[in-house]
Structure 1
Amino acid sequence: MRGTIRFGLALLLLGAGVQWWRGAPAGARLEPPPAQLSEAFPAPLETVEAPSLSSPAVGSGDQRGCLPAVSALPPGVVRKAPPPPLPLSGRLGLWVAVIDGRTLQPRRALTANPGSVFPLASTYKQAVLWAALREFDAGRLAPTERFDVTRENQSLGSYPYDGTNVRELSRRMIQWSDNTATDILHRRVGLQTVQDVADRLGLCRTRLILPTKTWWVMQSGLSATLNGTTRWPGATGSERARLAALLDADAQAYRPDFLQRKLNDYFDRRYALRDDFLVHNLSTPYEWGTLVAHEFLRPGLSRRARRWQREDMALGFGKAALRAGQAGNITMFGGKGGNGWRLLTYSGYFQTKTGQRVVYAFMQHGADQTYTMPNTRRAFAWINAAVDELIGEQKPEPPPQKEQKFRRQPQETPASGP
């Protein structure tokens, strides 16, 4: 068991070249959020109109600045998703939508638990990339700026060499889900700068402010700040930013090897599902699908930054698992996955040859399996079923026929006469 959590948590990734197409059977369930979360995360907020990107209320916890709930979308746009074709356990969320390229509103969507909050795991890292590119466009971050790995900034799992530059860190963050690369970039651009990715869109139930090492210090019980306050679960705006800075300072005080031992002990002995909502970055399937749509269709980036974004996000996991990709029907793709103890997440965007723009967000929490990467095939079976229902069945191309090679037969030698 301990070896499993070392691998699973230290990794917390689904790299572009890694594919897991098996999973243990379990009963499929679509459950409401745990009752313990009702105070910290109330019912989805409703508003009359979508927030302006410059609205001062966005991200402040003020209902006037929040994204309208799914129920506010025009009738007939959103329908209940089909059940998962293959069994998936735990609490499940799904948002698969065809997006209008002009308004960025869903034209058609299939969903399950769209307004329920889920831990994001490494899926959140694409927001760090987006925030970094905004800083690049503003002239505050250079792609050639270099960083060393230190005791303070090293997170769990593999990590870059000393002297790695911003451009390489961003690639490692998306392609290999490198936690240390992520934390270096996250802290470099600023904790609140990453949170602003959600706040500017009015995603009031989305938290992006915590680097990866901070999650695990909090979860293992080592954060004096978390242990000494009851204000963190419901904190928003400046209060959330202040507490996040203190939580992250706690995290940087610990060596990663010591942290890993403490984390192993936590998962072996004291794990509680509700703790995930205290320590992880969070979102809902609907809000995260909204973020992904803006990330790819209206990121507000320069041409150079947008090219950088698309190059990196194309390295994220998902295209090979989508039947549209297997059918050769994808002209543009970007995706990211994440996994942890009993949780799994996937999100992405792709455009088809006929110009259809599709976003998807899959979330699983409280799975029967502690190590969830083998659930990948089951997750994408559900995503693909929704995609097929929205844009038509995506039929994978048959494998190319192997060219048969015929060996030249030797000519018969006439019998010689006497």
Structure 2
Amino acid sequence: MAVSPPPGLRNKGRYVLLALLAAGVWACRPTSPAPQSTARGAPAALVASAGPSAPPPAPDPNRQGCLGDAPTVTAAPPPPQPLSGELGLWVAEVDPATLRPLRAVAQNPDRVFPLASTYKQAVLWAVLRQFDAGTLSPNERFKITRENQSLGAYPFDNTSLKDLSVRMIRNSDNTATDILHRRVGLKAVQNVADELGLCRTRLILPTKDWWAAQAGLSDTLKGTHRWDTATGEERVKLAEAIDADAQRYRPDYVQRRLDAYFDADAKPEDDLHVHNLSTPYEFAALLAHEYLRPRLSPQALRWQREVAAMGFGRSALRATAADNVTLFGGKGGNGWRILTYTGYFKTKDGRNVVYAFMQHGADQTYTMPNTRRAFAWINAAVDEVLGQQVPKPHPLEEKDEKAAAGKARP
């Protein structure tokens, strides 16, 4: 998490395709002709002029069957360190029986944000549910192909499904994520949200899909206004078509087109059009169910706890430094002006906490350096909910303090 990006990317926040270090591996051309650009070096517009003159009205997120707006809670404390762009936060202690917040603080809990890689927690849950249903095996193995490879580093051929789940959470491996997402089915991951009534939450697209769409490589998205408001089977059919569009292209070609998009005229509203989405309140509700009421077998629960604990966040929590965390599951995500950190932890005295931090449209194009600032705010909110979490002194510091106290005695 703390590794600096290559010099050429420190001001870009792009997704680096490490596979290109092996020159010539993907030297063949795309399986279909590249769409024509609207300007030299720039991808075509995300939405073409064809289709309805205006998108249909958005579904009411407070309609019957939806979770609805967040309850009124105490305002979150101001961020201790500056954070730019649109910000959202929900930190709550939840009742393990009802999953309702016992005490919570929030800022913009119902605003919709791009999830970036934090959505991968939902993929893990969908995998575990199908494992319990007997429809997949942790020892099933997969090959890496031009179609299923996404941006960034990727696993070896014949990696097992269990190891792909580890790479997805621990390494934030996009190819591992996409293989798992497609293996369980696009609809299965979306169902994780739909079954909970999270009507503002979209989890249906694998990572390569949203990048290809943002790069102007999805004819499906360019031909319809229905995507943003589609639900149910209509959304499933559109997502499958978008996924088919993305799999036509080599990942290095998607990367180049994505770079051209960012260089030309990247807009924050495009993120909301193509990325997986949620609100701080809804995603925290998803995590409360995933970690406190997952309805998993003992074997699947062990798998969940082992893998989820590898996600980033535990070491950044002040409650951890106070030696007050017994269980943890979490994940972070970042993109062009996007940063997200979400997770769950249990304290030694049995209190259950969920948190969801979301940033969109940051001043920084590469947002990973904002991690400390993000967790400073998360920790301040946790202190409001649980009481101040005081880090334990380092053993050497404790020894020096005792020695100093001994010398001070008369």
- Of residues 225, 245, 249, the one that matches 2:244 is 249
**Is 1:45 aligned to residue 40 of structure 2?**
no
**Is 1:10 aligned to residue 26 of structure 2?**
no
- Of residues 305, 318, 322, the one that matches 2:313 is 318
**Is 1:339 aligned to residue 334 of structure 2?**
yes
Paired with 1:8 and 1:106, the residues of 2 have a C-alpha distance of 37
Superposition deviation, residue 105 in structure 1: 0.5
Q: Percent identical across equivalent pairs?
A: 65
- Of residues 246, 255, 264, the one that matches 1:260 is 255
CA contact (8 A) 1:8 1:339 kept: no
CA contact (8 A) 1:194 1:209 kept: yes
CA contact (8 A) 2:14 2:259 kept: no
1:290/1:153 Cα in 2 relative to 1: closer, same or farther (>3 Å)? same
CA contact (8 A) 2:147 2:249 kept: yes
Superposition deviation, residue 79 in structure 1: 1.0
CA contact (8 A) 2:17 2:251 kept: no
Corresponding residue for residue 27 of structure 2? none
- Of residues 373, 376, 379, the one that matches 1:378 is 373
CA contact (8 A) 1:118 1:363 kept: yes
CA contact (8 A) 1:147 1:162 kept: yes
Deviations 1:256-295 (A, max 9, x none): 1111111111101121111001110000000001001001
- Of residues 191, 198, 204, the one that matches 2:193 is 198
Residue identity matched to 1:381: A
Residue ranges of structure 2 left out of the alignment (5+ in a row) = 1-6, 19-53, 401-410
Residue ranges of structure 1 left out of the alignment (5+ in a row) = 13-37, 47-62, 405-418
Residue identity matched to 2:258: L
SS in 2 for 1:331: strand
CA contact (8 A) 1:70 1:114 kept: yes
**Is 1:134 aligned to residue 129 of structure 2?**
yes
- Of residues 211, 226, 248, the one that matches 2:221 is 226
Paired with 1:336 and 1:157, the residues of 2 have a C-alpha distance of 17
SS in 1 for 2:135: coil
- Of residues 227, 232, 238, the one that matches 1:237 is 232
CA contact (8 A) 2:132 2:297 kept: yes
For normalisation by structure 2, the TM-score amounts to 0.84
Paired with 1:214 and 1:286, the residues of 2 have a C-alpha distance of 25
RMSD over aligned CA atoms reads: 1.9
Paired with 1:314 and 1:11, the residues of 2 have a C-alpha distance of 26
Corresponding residue for residue 291 of structure 2? 296
Superposition deviation, residue 68 in structure 1: 2.9
Paired with 2:348 and 2:60, the residues of 1 have a C-alpha distance of 36
Residue identity matched to 1:68: G
**Is 1:107 aligned to residue 107 of structure 2?**
no
Residue identity matched to 2:61: L
Superposition deviation, residue 218 in structure 1: 0.1
Residue identity matched to 1:3: L
